[in-house]
Structure 1
Amino acid sequence: MIIDLRSDTVTKPTKGMLDAMMQAKVGDDVFSEDPTVIILEERLANMFGKDRALFFPSGTMANQTAIKLHTNPGEQVICDKYAHIYNYESGGASFNSGVSCRLLDGNQGMFTANQVLEAINPDAFYYSQTSLVEIENTTNKGGGACWNFNEILKIKEVCKSNNLGFHLDGARLWNALVAKNESTKQYGDVFDTISVCLSKGLGCPIGSVLIGDEDIMKNAIRVRKIFGGNMRQVGYLAAAGLYALDNHMERLNDDHTKAKQIGEVLSNLSYIKTVEPVETNIVIFELHEGVNEKEFVQKLQENNILIISMGSNILRMVTHLDYTNTMHEKVLEILTSLKF
């Protein structure tokens, strides 16, 4: 039995999801003729109170399309130093859109409205023009932390006052909604564009969706085509998303509970230096200086437990749909039995 805690992207479709996929009605989505894709896009647009939604093969492509829609080459995006669009999208912001990132030194990947205000470049021709603010909820490198919605509202006011776009990388927004008891409409009211991932906490094999109002989304399908993201009978994948929205949302609480229990056990172990606060399904922790990171990962691997290293003795575990109670008991047992 392999226990894979490297990411919540490692899940396999459940039997119910596979059945839904196999029964999907499909058509050619490049001609806007796939009925299941249309249903998924309309459902997500309505959930967030937006005009349009567009299905993408990946969250990176959805985010990169949003950046392209909001900016012109030479402009600047304000985001956190931990932001996925800066750290984990292969330099796509500069490669695809010709923009730079103004990095804020936030707390667990989250910053304040005042920091945004201070980061906006002066309106002079020799400065890069600030055009977009981007946030990530939950924060990946911040350990699955959830934003305070009141701070998001304050940032929105800064964006409105300074004519800036506001994009949400909501790859794990579903986790935040469940953990904070918030609604999709709340977020739809605030953000100009929102990307949501179906293949992380919701357990789909593929898929993200970009959501926004008509004025910003009218060129999204053209940008997706430029990026090579237009697909044909993709309704089989859209059906997985519809099934996940119906069946896999509330169970995210189970992932959060397991992650918090892992965090509690780790915080009491002698070989652990610190554990980031655990709010959702990500556990980030640091080993004491005397513990070899590679040796630690290897010992877990010898017990069929896979985790990910983030460098500098910092490691990550992510709970998910395929992480069972039996697996959970074994992980806690192994962690408490390790000696260094």
Structure 2
Amino acid sequence: MIPIDLRSDTVTRPALAMREAMFYAEVGDDGYGEDPTVNRLEQLAAELCGKEAGLFVSSGTQGNQIAVMVHAGRGQEVICDYQAHMFNSETGGISALSGAQPCPVMAPDGKLTPELIEPAIRERKMNAPQTALITVENTHNAAGGVYYTPAELGAVHALAAEYGIPVHMDGARVANAAVAQGLPLAELARHADSMQMCLSKGLCAPVGSVLVGSAEFIRQARRYRRLLGGGMRQAGILAAAGIVALETMLPRLADDHRNAGQLAQAIATTRLRIDLERVQTNIVLFDTAPLGVSAAEFIVRLREHGILAGNAYGRNKVRMVTHHDVSAGQIEYTISVIQRLAGEAC
């Protein structure tokens, strides 16, 4: 039996159209700016996001950290949510690479608001670090895939503008946020000075993200990509899959959201604890504590039935992520197994 892999949408495999595009991709040396497929991908992503320019990078983490390197430096501070991927899951990159320090803010639902941000903005004093950047994560992974609305993002951006501070959006799953709200990507990206979006995950490309922003921002970002060893040569082979992702894969994210909603609703009928209001896109977080078992124990039981899930954010939190390679029928099977296991647990 082939396992049903719900650990993450990072496990998606490239679609046939992507493999064909990669095989036939026209390539050149991207180090000289001569790979036409990379150039096309960067232009397409920038246009979809309403920005002047884009930069193809190897991963979302690389895109985020390059953005911080452009916006912030030594003796400066980066405001982020305390559960943010940039703070918790990028190996301390903010301090290690930029020399800046993170300023984590407690946001119960993962979303920063002006009321939470403003007290964290530093006064300009000789002995205090300078607030150089505000970051938001959309959708928010650790909070269960919740998204920012344009109004919420606009309020953060307006506050940042008052203080002359740029905003960077970790948009690893911003495509999910856009599709869930029926919005173009540009409607969300316009409230950030820079943004990275993953082409892998739900969009199914095998590798890469695109960092977008102003032409000057991308000029500086390109230099930092080189510093990090991220300069690629005939990268059009990879960029070709990203083009297919942006041109064809966004609408189908709605299927993943429906599957996640169905899964969450079924979990809510068991003794497992779940916050249905947070299941807004393709991530489902639930708590095994009411069953008297740990997440690790529950995950082992799921694996015995051919289902892979992830242990996330504490002893009792299980994460499941729906994606292109999980069908509606597999979701139904997963529901039947969870309901049985939740009923048997003591």
TM-score norm. by structure 2 comes to 0.96
Q: What does 1:45-194 align with in structure 2 at a 5 Å threshold?
A: 45-194=46-195
Contact 1:275–1:286 (CA<8 Å) still a contact in 2? no
Aligned to 1:337: 340
Amino acid at match of 1:335: I
Aligned to 2:289: 288
Shift of 1:148: 2.6
Structure 2 SS opposite 1:274? coil
Aligned to 1:246: 247
Rounded to whole Å, the distance in 2 between the matches of 1:266 and 1:188 is 33
Structure 1 SS opposite 2:325? coil
Contact 1:57–1:207 (CA<8 Å) still a contact in 2? yes
Contact 1:108–1:141 (CA<8 Å) still a contact in 2? no
After TM superposition, the runs of 4+ consecutive aligned structure 1 residues lying more than 3 A away are: none
Of 319, 324, 330 in structure 2, the residue corresponding to residue 321 of structure 1 is 324
Aligned to 2:310: 308
Rounded to whole Å, the distance in 1 between the matches of 2:336 and 2:273 is 19
Contact 2:174–2:185 (CA<8 Å) still a contact in 1? no
Rounded to whole Å, the distance in 2 between the matches of 1:293 and 1:169 is 27
Contact 2:149–2:188 (CA<8 Å) still a contact in 1? no
Amino acid at match of 2:201: K
Distance 1:274 1:188, change over 3 A: closer
Structure 1 SS opposite 2:202? coil
Deviations 1:254-306 (A, max 9, x none): 00000011111111112x13335210000011112512332211110011111
Amino acid at match of 2:254: N
Aligned to 1:265: 266
Shift of 1:326: 2.5
Amino acid at match of 1:134: T
Deviations 1:53-92 (A, max 9, x none): 0000111000000000001211001110111100100000
Rounded to whole Å, the distance in 2 between the matches of 1:298 and 1:151 is 39
Structure 2 SS opposite 1:122? coil
Structure 2 SS opposite 1:337? helix
Rounded to whole Å, the distance in 2 between the matches of 1:288 and 1:152 is 34
Of 286, 291, 301 in structure 2, the residue corresponding to residue 299 of structure 1 is 301
Structure 2 SS opposite 1:218? helix
Shift of 1:244: 1.2
Matched, 1:196 2:194: no
Deviations 1:154-178 (A, max 9, x none): 1111111101011000000000000
Amino acid at match of 1:273: R
Q: In proportion to residue count, which structure has more helix?
A: 2
Structure 1 SS opposite 2:75? coil
Contact 1:275–1:283 (CA<8 Å) still a contact in 2? no
After superposing the two structures, state which structure 1 stretch, 127-136 or 103-112, moved more.
103-112
Once superposed, what is the RMSD of the aligned Cα atoms?
A: 1.1
Deviations 1:215-274 (A, max 9, x none): 22221111001111111111011110111112211010000000011111111112x133
Contact 1:6–1:308 (CA<8 Å) still a contact in 2? yes
Query: Structure 2, unaligned stretches of length 5 or more?
Result: none
Shift of 1:324: 1.3
Amino acid at match of 2:294: N
Aligned to 2:17: 16
Structure 2 SS opposite 1:167? strand
Identity of aligned residues (%): 40
TM-score norm. by structure 1 comes to 0.97
Structure 2 SS opposite 1:77? strand
Aligned residue pairs: how many?
339
Structure 2 SS opposite 1:219? helix
